[in-house]
Structure 1
Amino acid sequence: MSYNSSSVGSGSRTTRRTFEFGRTHVVRPKGKHQATIVWLHGLGDKGSSWSQLLETLPLPNIKWICPTAPTRPVAIFGGYPCTAWFDVGDLSEEGPDDLEGLDASAAHVANLLSTEPADIKLGIGGFSMGAATALYSATCRILGQYGNGNSYSINLSAVVGLSGWLPCSRTLKSRMDRSHDAARHAASLPILLCHGLGDDVVAYKHGERSAQVLSSVGFRNLTFRTYNGLGHYTVPEETDAVCNWLTAMLGLEGSRS
C-alpha cells in the first residue's frame, strides 16, 4: 500500500513523497473478538517478527494487525535504506521530527483500524520506533488531527509503548493549548509505557522523559513501568504486564489474569 504526501514549498513548486508500506500480518482472535490492536515493529524489523510473538500471548479476544514499515533512507544509518516508520537521526525526543513520515505512518495505522466493526475496541502498540509511532498516533487522537492539520477520526481505547520515545514532544503542549477538547480526550486514553534501565539503544532517560511530558499535558491514565537490567528487547515479565494491563483496560473476557 502506498501513501502520497505533498507539501508546497516556495513559489508553486510541490514536493511529493510516496511511502510504500510492506506486508501486513494478521493474528486472528482465538476467542470472541473484542479488540483489535495494530502493533508496530522497531527500526529495521518487519511485521512478521512481532506477529509470531503476539500469536503466543494469552489474549484470545484480540485481533493483532502487524504492518511492515516502508523501506527508506534513514539518517541515523547515514542514509542507508531500511524499514522505518519515519526518518530519524537520533533515537530520542531530542532529534528533529520527520512530521511528514510520522503523519504517513499514523494515517496508515488509522486506515488499518478504520474497517474494524463498530463494537470492537481499538488500540495501537509498538516497540522502539514502533512505540514512538504509537505515541504520536495517541497525540493525533487527542488533538483530533495529524501534524499536517488533516482530521484524525479513530477512537483509540488503549496505547502501548515498549522501549520507545515521544516524537514532537517539544510542540505538544502548545498544540494542546489551542484545542478545547484535547485535555478531556487525553485524560480518558489509557497508555502503558515500559522501559528497561539497561537500554543502550533508546536510553531509559528518553522513555522516562516522554512519560513525564505526556503526564504534564494531561494524560492522567498513564502507567510507566521500569525493568532493571532490561536492554533494548522484551522479556516475559514485560509481556505478562502488557497482557494484564490490556485485559483490565479493554475489559477482555476469557484471558488469563
Structure 2
Amino acid sequence: MSFSSSSRGSRSSRMTFEFGRTHVVRPKGRHQATIVWLHGLGDRGSSWSQLLENLPLPNVKWICPTAPTRPVSLFGGFPSTAWFDAQDMSEDAPDDLEGLDATAAHVANLLSTEPADIKVGVGGFSMGAAAALYSATCHIFCQYGNRSPYPVNLSSVVCLSGWLPCSRMLRNRVAGSNETVMRAASLPILLCHGSGDDVVAYEHGEKSARILHSAGFQSLTFRSYNGLGHYTIPEEMDEVCRWLTDNLGLQGS
C-alpha cells in the first residue's frame, strides 16, 4: 500500500511511501479491541505477529504492518524498513514530519474499518514505539503534523524501548486548547524501557515519559527493567497484557 504525503504550501517534493505486507492476528475470543503494532527499524511485521499471537489476550485483534523500505540517515542513507527517517534514536533528533505523518495515516487507515464498538490502539517497539507515540500526539490534536484532520479515536498506546518524536512541538502546542488537554489527560499510555538498552538509551525513554507527563498525559505509566537491553522479555510482555486488560476493560474470553 502506498501513501503520498505533501503538506500544503510546502516546498518539499511529494514522496510516496510503499508499505510492505501486513500480518493480522485474529482474536481467539470475542473481539473487543484492535491494536496496530509497529516493528522496529530493519524489521518486518511478521516477526511481531508470531509473538503477539501467543499472548493471553483472546479478545484482541493485532494488525502488524511492515514499514516502507527507504534510505535511512542513521545508516548513511542505506535503505532499510523504517517508519520514518532517523538521524538518531532519541527525542532530540531532527524530526521527519513527512515520514511520521505517512506512518500515522497508514495506522489510521488500518484502523478505519474496525466496527464502532471496538476499542482501537497502537503500539510498537523501538522506532515503531516512536511512531506509536507520534500517533498519540495526532490523536490529541485531532490532526497530523501537516494540519490535515486525524480521524481515529485511540483508546491506548504502548511504547516499548522507544522515544517521543516532535517533543518540542508537543510542549509548545498542548496548552493552547482545553479539548487537547482533556484528550491528553484521558489517553492511557504505557512506556517500558530497559536500563541496559544500548540502542535507544534508557535516559531517552525516561525523558520522553517526563515530557509527555508534563504536557498533560496524566494516564501515563512508565515501567523500567533493570539490565534489560534492546529486546523484550516475558516479564515485560506480561505487564503489557495486564495493562491492556485493565485499560481496555478486556474480558477473559
Separation in 1, partners of 2:120, 2:9: 36
Would the aligned equivalents of 1:7 and 1:15 in 2 still touch at CA under 8 Å? Answer: no
Structure 2 SS opposite 1:155: coil
TM-score, scaled relative to structure 2: 0.98
Deviation of 1:14 after TM superposition, in Å, equals: 6.2
Describe how 1:197-212 pairs up with structure 2 within 5 A: 197-212=195-210
* AA matched with 1:221: S
For structure 2, which runs of at least 5 residues remain unmatched after alignment? none
The number of residue pairs the alignment matches comes to: 253
Deviation of 1:252 after TM superposition, in Å, equals: 0.5
Q: Which residue of 1 aligns with 2:78?
A: 80
Describe how 1:216-235 pairs up with structure 2 within 5 A: 216-235=214-233
Structure 1 SS opposite 2:178: coil
- Counterpart pick for 1:119 among 112, 117, 124: 117
Q: Which residue of 1 aligns with 2:188?
A: 190
Structure 1 segments of 4+ aligned residues over 3 angstroms from their partners: 7-10
Would the aligned equivalents of 2:8 and 2:146 in 1 still touch at CA under 8 Å? Answer: no
Would the aligned equivalents of 2:7 and 2:146 in 1 still touch at CA under 8 Å? Answer: no
Structure 2 SS opposite 1:18: strand
Separation in 2, partners of 1:9, 1:32: 46
- Counterpart pick for 2:241 among 221, 240, 243: 243
Separation in 2, partners of 1:89, 1:14: 19
* AA matched with 1:85: W
Would the aligned equivalents of 2:35 and 2:123 in 1 still touch at CA under 8 Å? Answer: yes
Describe how 1:58-97 pairs up with structure 2 within 5 A: 58-97=56-95
Identical-residue share of aligned pairs (%): 75
Q: Which residue of 2 aligns with 1:26?
A: 24
Structure 1 SS opposite 2:212: helix
Deviation of 1:54 after TM superposition, in Å, equals: 0.2
The 1:107–1:37 alpha-carbon spacing in structure 2 relative to 1, beyond 3 Å, is: same
Would the aligned equivalents of 1:85 and 1:130 in 2 still touch at CA under 8 Å? Answer: yes
Separation in 1, partners of 2:74, 2:165: 15
2:6 counterpart of 1:6 = yes
Q: Which residue of 1 aligns with 2:155?
A: 157
* AA matched with 1:118: A
Q: Which residue of 2 aligns with 1:138?
A: 136
Deviation of 1:9 after TM superposition, in Å, equals: 6.7
Separation in 1, partners of 2:27, 2:39: 20
TM-score, scaled relative to structure 1: 0.96
CA RMSD between the two structures:
1.2
